[in-house]
Amino acid sequence: MPTPPIDSEKPALYSNPPDDTSEQYDVVVVGASFAGLTFASVAATRGLRVLVVERDPVVGGVVRTTGILFSDVFDVMEVPQRFLMNSVRRLNMRASEGDTKPVEIGAGAYRFYMADVTGMLQWMAEQAEGHGVTVRCGAIFQDATRQPDGLMRVTYAHAHAGTAKGDEDADAASPNGSMGVTTVRARFLIGADGTRSRVAQKMELDQNTHVLAGAEWLVENVALDRETFYLIFDAKLAPGYCMWLAPHNDIVALGVAGRQREFKPIESLKIAQTLFGGVTDLSQMRIVERKGGNIPIGGRLKRVYRDDEKGRVLLLGDAAGLCGAATGGGIYPALISGKLAAQAVASELLNGTPGAVKAYQRHLMQAGGLGPYLRVEDWIRFVLDRMGSNADWSALLGIFASPQGHALLQSALFETPIIGMDSNFFGMVRNVLGQHPSVYGAALRMAWRRITARA
């Protein structure tokens, strides 16, 4: 697909200095994933000229996520049914050791969906291109500087110029694999380039420091029901998170995540093959795809925007630490931040509304229940990081096996929309802890340590 030409009908918002012939845009977005593509589509719809640069050769070509969507995502975006592969009704959880039985919660209504991430991102890129966005793949952001005229000079390296679907002539364009460097100019730079954001690093904004490493194999030759997710918790094999076995369309995803550098993901996946033996036979499995990536778990970053002599730049999605610190659910926050930031940047650039981006930052946490959701996730992360042994995991799952704990989990995961989390969730936690005085005491001690550690 050829790169669409820049729409000459749109107003020119900048002027070229006579000696600079580089392409000009209102906004350059780094990263063609959930946050970047949402931003680009909405910004272009509002009248901005947008370039998206993506380092992968094809949008969605390298999938780093499991792709579970909470149903809340549909409040932000109408995802076509064809990208929703499995609808999930049940979660089955157990500790890898100890004699606690698995805890299973479920619901009649579907709450989670396993998405076809490649298909969905390609569709999002097509939508963005349809609104006039230029998507350039195989383009790796290098650096950006602000010039005296106020515009950002953005450089990216590329092996070839690809579009959202890649470039069939890529080899011909770059027969020896050499990299070229291109410079473009823009009024605003968006860093939607994920957990290890180079934009954040180059623009001296906050960067994620607490990170989970995740690895996942898509495997065939495994029989699994299409509506249940199976989780196993083990303090050594998946420190601070878990191993999972999940339906992925007609095949199966076997995955693990844990605090980076505290475990070996591939070793854990090999052992998980045996641990999930009670669920299904994985001895004949064949790996058809391997995924891996990082999940930010340190919470929302503070300094994600600047507009000064160094640059005019805003971070979104994972790059801004906008990810559920406990579950690693980051697609919902990425979509919300992309959508709202685009409206703010458009207001600032097109209407000349000063402070629109700062207002976006102030109000983001009120949108779609994002603030309470991230807060609840931060607190659960605090607990997960204290699961030092498999005995701790057994004890925690023991609470969720009790009627009150079961009801809490059921309500939190299957019945409470993200937008309603605050009032419900904290009240429910208080009730359950009240039924387990020893855990209540431990929770209070933990909370106290957290407060004093911050002071």
Site size toward ligand FAD (CB under 6 A) is 37
Nearer residue to ligand FAD within complex by CB, 24 or 208:
208
Which one, 68 or 219, has the nearer CB to ligand FAD?
68
Q: Which of 46, 158, 187, 198 binds ligand FAD (CB under 6 A)?
A: 198
Handedness of CA 430, 431, 432, 436 (dihedral sign): positive
| Tokens describing residue 278 | 């009670």
As separate numbers, helices (DSSP H) first and strands (DSSP E) second, the chain gives: 13, 17
C-alpha closest to that of 89 among 114, 67, 64: 114
Out of 24, 25, 28, 34, which residue is the one contacting ligand FAD (CB under 6 A)? Answer: 34
Query: Of 86-94, 182-190, 193-201, 417-425, which part binds ligand FAD (CB under 6 A)?
Result: 193-201
Determine which residue in the list 25, 31, 232, 269 makes contact with ligand FAD, applying CB under 6 A.
31
Question: Helix, strand, or coil here: 77?
Answer: coil
Q: Which listed residue (25, 28, 44, 55) binds ligand FAD by CB under 6 A?
A: 55
83 binds ligand FAD per the rule CB under 6 A: no
32 binds ligand FAD (CB under 6 A): yes
368 binds ligand FAD (CB under 6 A): no
Residue 56: partners with Cβ closer than 8 Å, 6 or more residues away: 32, 62, 137, 138
Q: Least distance (Å) from ligand FAD to the CB of residue 162?
A: 12
Q: Which residue in 39, 141, 229, 276 binds ligand FAD (CB under 6 A)?
A: 141
Chain-centre distance for alpha carbon 16: 36
DSSP letter, residue 6: P
**27: β partners:** 50, 188
- Site map 150..169 versus ligand FAD, x via CB under 6 A: --------------------
Q: Which of 29, 95, 192, 409 binds ligand FAD (CB under 6 A)?
A: 192
Q: Which helix (H) or strand (E) holds 343?
A: helix 331-350
Closest distance to ligand FAD from the beta carbon of 337 (Å): 8
Reported as type and span, the H/E element at residue 274 is helix 265-275
245 touches 263 (CB < 8 A): no
Footprint on residues 223-242 left by ligand FAD (CB under 6 A): none
CA distance 69 to 114: 6
CA separation for the pair 410, 429 (Å, rounded)? 12
By three-state DSSP, how is residue 288 classified?
Answer: strand
Chain residue whose CB lies nearest ligand FAD: 330
| For ligand FAD, the closer CB: 331 or 432 | 331
Taking the complex as a whole, the smallest distance from the CB of residue 441 to ligand FAD amounts, in Å, to 34
Asked if 266 and 215 touch (Cβ cutoff 8 Å), the reply is yes
Contact with ligand FAD (CB under 6 A) among 240, 258, 293, 321? 293
Pattern of binders to ligand FAD over 203-222, x per CB under 6 A? -----------x-x------
Q: Does 79 interact with ligand FAD (rule: CB under 6 A)?
A: no
Token pair recorded at residue 96: 């890898």
Question: What is the token pair recorded at 132?
Answer: 């006039």
| Three-state SS at 248 | strand
Positions touching ligand FAD (CB under 6 A) are 30-36, 53-56, 64-68, 140-141, 192-194, 198, 214, 216, 257, 293-295, 317-319, 323, 328-331, 334
